[in-house]
């Protein structure tokens, strides 16, 4: 437990890295930590792209506006909110449940039904037509019933997926820190060009952040870390 807290408090956004090899094992560990983050409906609506070869890295760093952390990192992780993965994810979970004795037939059927409802609910339809109809239905329902508004329009879906993606990113950065490597999250990038570079579809994918991964340069000195006081960020009711 102390180790986790130590990694959280030690982590800094590192702006200059020195050349270092990131082993496959380490890479796997940080991605494993990332995917263990909680996600809405356990839908894990993201995909991480590991950019490790010199040529690809240089191209992506350029699209991060040549920022120093991107230019000097050993690898760049592009974290993408992926709203096109939902059907495959629920199918994957269903197959996983079917292969395990802990889940009764009733439980599997229940999950199957919930997943189907989720898919219908999350389908914006052509030009957001279904989303608009559903939005009015939920709005009316909400007049007399306590309920949350599900993400209906494509914009809402990306916002929804971004939350889970960002949590996975934080897990990745804490895990990296605990394993002795450093990171810098970046949202300074040309999303349109970077999306094209990675072959992403604007319909289903949105880049949430790029994480520079590497070993902090020995010559780099972080400025002291400032945070707003607790009372400015917490309300105790």
Residue ranges binding ligand FMN (CB under 6 A): 12-13, 15, 67, 69, 184-188, 209, 225
Nearer to ligand FMN, 124 or 185 (CB): 185
Least distance CB 37 / ligand FMN (angstroms): 15
Nearer to ligand FMN, 23 or 223 (CB): 223
| Three-state helix/strand/coil letters over 158-204 | HHHHHHHHHHHHHHHHHHHHHCCCEEEEECCCCHHHHHHHHCCCCCC
CA distance 130 to 134: 6
Least distance CB 163 / ligand FMN (angstroms): 12
CA distance 39 to 193: 28
CB 81 within 8 A of CB 40: no
CB 21 within 8 A of CB 187: no
Least distance CB 209 / ligand FMN (angstroms): 5
Nearer to ligand FMN, 43 or 165 (CB): 165
Nearer to ligand FMN, 57 or 134 (CB): 57
Least distance CB 21 / ligand FMN (angstroms): 23
Pairing label, strands 17-18, 205-216? antiparallel
């Amino acid at each position: 437990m102390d180790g986790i807290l130590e990694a959280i408090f030690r982590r800094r956004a590192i702006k200059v890295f020195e050349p270092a090899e990131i082993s496959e094992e380490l890479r796997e560990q940080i991605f494993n930590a990332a995917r263990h983050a909680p996600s809405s409906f356990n839908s894990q609506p993201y995909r991480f792209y590991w950019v490790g070869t010199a040529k690809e890295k240089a191209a992506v760093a350029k699209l991060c506006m040549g920022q120093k952390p991107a230019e000097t990192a050993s690898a760049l992780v592009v974290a993408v909110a992926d709203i096109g993965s939902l059907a495959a994810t629920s199918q994957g979970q269903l197959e996983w449940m079917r292969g395990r004795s802990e889940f009764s037939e009733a439980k599997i059927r229940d999950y199957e039904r919930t997943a189907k409802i989720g898919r219908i609910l999350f389908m914006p339809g052509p030009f957001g037509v279904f989303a608009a109809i559903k939005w009015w239905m939920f709005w009316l329902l909400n007049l007399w019933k306590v309920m949350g508004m599900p993400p209906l329009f494509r914009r809402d879906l990306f916002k929804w997926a971004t939350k889970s993606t960002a949590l996975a990113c934080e897990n990745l950065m804490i895990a990296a820190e605990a394993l002795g490597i450093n990171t810098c999250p970046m949202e300074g990038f040309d999303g349109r060009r970077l999306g094209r570079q990675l072959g992403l579809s604007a319909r289903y994918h949105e880049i949430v952040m790029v994480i520079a991964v590497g070993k902090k340069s020995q010559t780099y000195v972080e400025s002291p870390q400032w945070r707003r006081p607790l009372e400015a960020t917490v309300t105790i009711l």
